[in-house]
Structure 1
């Protein structure tokens, strides 16, 4: 055995440690692998990638006979049902891509021994999570793009033309997807097995969608339920997305009569930090390699 090998730093399990730069490069390569695996799982693709598109199509078609939302007293004006529900579907898609996708995926990998095998390999934790986070970004961006194309081409929904609206959309998306991803990692510790992951995670995200203004107009909910929804990030993300895609007059329909983008950012940041802390405390690798 060479002197260089003897002097190589090792982790507690005796697996050679890799430099941080090497770990990032491995993680970037792993993104492609994670994306390929994601699209091979039909149920996951439907329930986290296509589900918001399907729901937007259903809502646009099923409620078109109900007329526009926010019409004037004389029946003029307003926006279509599809246009009203589009921002909520985008917010829900971000939640599904991060929380539901990662929570079930990591729980399954714990259950089937994948994490144990990776823990015995030189792959650092940072590479593993770079792959996971990269997959979430790639698939969620593709999902949002598909939603917007379907909205514009199929349902003739007008999209914003003001650059500042798209700037707001960009920071909302980035903050929302990071928050959803770290919360998904933290939630992956809750299911006791891979088989129970779906049963644990889906009801949580489904309830949040119903009380956060995704499938129902938020002001239709009783005040006490609105207050409960305000404790969770999806309500704020959906509200922020409505500020991007809905006319300014619709701000009066929010809980406090305004878009409150400052409060949106603060609440999402709080949940992002909480998710990071919980992820750090709950994730268990077979070895500790920083």
Structure 2
């Protein structure tokens, strides 16, 4: 997570404050450094109203150019979102878009902004444990990139790519990835129930196992996943027997390649 003075004294406009927008606001509020936040959201949630009241954020108020504008409307609302964002965009404004499937060219066609960052966060941002892939347009300065990094990094890690086309792959891996993990938990629980465990117990075991393995991987970040896997795999043991199935030619690796390829292909289709 980004720390330090990257947000100190900066002015930001958030266009759209649904789940991801509110997650960003909570991340910014926790850092308590932003100079001013303006929010455009026609249907503010109770949580949004509470955040605005607690931190002095301006909700649906007067507009003026800001250091950064974050577009967080639904992709199909881009045109309306861009119209709402326009009064906040000045010559030095960096626009960060988290709209899935919308390219920098799509944003630039609607907003007079030379500095645009296309970003793809994921849902664990809601608990400050997200990861965001980002790509800057040619007009983004080093300072603007640092500001965008701080804004996006308030809810987790930020990984910058050097080709906008790679955002489709980011979407396929981390953007959609939480759903893959949740489905794995479902399948592991179902397999446990089929093996004879009570369904509720199998679900608890599957969930706790995935939570614990993920935390172990986080805490031992210097150790590769394959090394962690080897450490719990005794030759000829139960784990080895299961991995023999998962590592078969038609096993998990091939399945994940096909799944990520399908998600990437669909992301490209949505991007036009």
Q: State TM-score, norm by structure 1.
A: 0.30
Whose strand fraction is larger, Structure 1's or Structure 2's?
2
Whose helix fraction is larger, Structure 1's or Structure 2's?
1
Higher relative contact order (CA 8 A, sep 6+): 1
Q: State TM-score, norm by structure 2.
A: 0.31
